[in-house]
Amino acid sequence: MEPAVELRYVDDGIAQIRMQDRVSKNTFSMPLAEGLIAAFGEVSEHERCKVVILTGYDSYFASGGTKESLLLLSDGKGKFTDVDLYSLALNCPVPVIAAMQGHGIGGGFALGMFADFPILSRESIYTTNFMKYGFTPGMGATFILPRKLGITLAEEMMIVARTYRGEELQRRGVPFPVLPRAEVAAYAFDLAKDIAEKPRVSLVTLKDHLVESLRSGLPATIDQELEMHERTFHRPEIRDRIETLFGR
């Protein structure tokens, strides 16, 4: 069986982290979560790595929490911070390109937004569907979406919780590339090659400077998201909505 996460070095200075948990369709299963943490840990320590491409497989980028994990959270058996996936790209010392060739759902969409260079596909679905189940967003979504998408679109995505095709988000003016799915990987690789031409120490130094306010500001918002979850997540109606609506 192939691993849930594959790390390989596709060119000099370029690492690719590929999420490929076909059993869970790239929901945050334990194999996927453990694989992501291990892969980002390795590239962070790799002295020759200058840029990371984070991508998925086929029509899936990342699909957010599993049904089982959401039910456990609803029952008060854990918090989304128990496994920190949301800050992996932000805290990676080198630039991260999120080649979001497939669907980005819930926390999976937030995962991509924490990258330095998100790239969407026109055909794919993107949604922050937390409120579909009746609980407030987590995974740092309330922090990163307004900063990456603008407050108006971010509020709409989080409160209304509907799905958007990449082509619609392109029309709405998202400030990063939205390409045909078949072109996302090549675009990401070309961008990575441009980045990898620069000295690693300069890339790390500049990224530290550019994202310092994000790194320092995120923890307070995570605490606020946890407080909102305490008020919203543990109600019986939330468990019912997860049971009946998950996967629809």
By the 8 A CB rule, do 181 and 123 touch? yes
Over residues 130-152, the mean pLDDT reads 97
Mean pLDDT, residues 155-174? 97
Digit-coded pLDDT (tens) for 168-221: 999 999 999 999 999 999 999 999 999 999 999 999 999 999 999 999 999 999
Does the active-site annotation cover 209? no
| Cβ within 8 Å of residue 210, ≥6 positions away | 116
Instruction: From the candidates 46, 103, 209, 229, give the one annotated as an active-site residue.
Output: 229
Residue 247 has pLDDT above 90, yes or no: no
Kindly state the helix (H) or strand (E) to which residue 35 belongs, with its residue range: helix 30-45
**Rounded Cα distance, 222 and 5, in Å:** 26
3-class SS of residue 233 = coil
| Cβ neighbours around 240 below 10 Å, total | 13
- Model pTM above 0.85: yes
Would you say residue 1 has pLDDT above 90? no
Domain ranges of the chain: 5-182
**Structure confidence at residue 248 (pLDDT):** 74
> What's the CA gap between 118 and 105, in Å, rounded?
14
CATH number (3.90.226.10, 3.90.1150.10, 3.40.50.1820, 3.50.30.30) of 5-182 reads 3.90.226.10
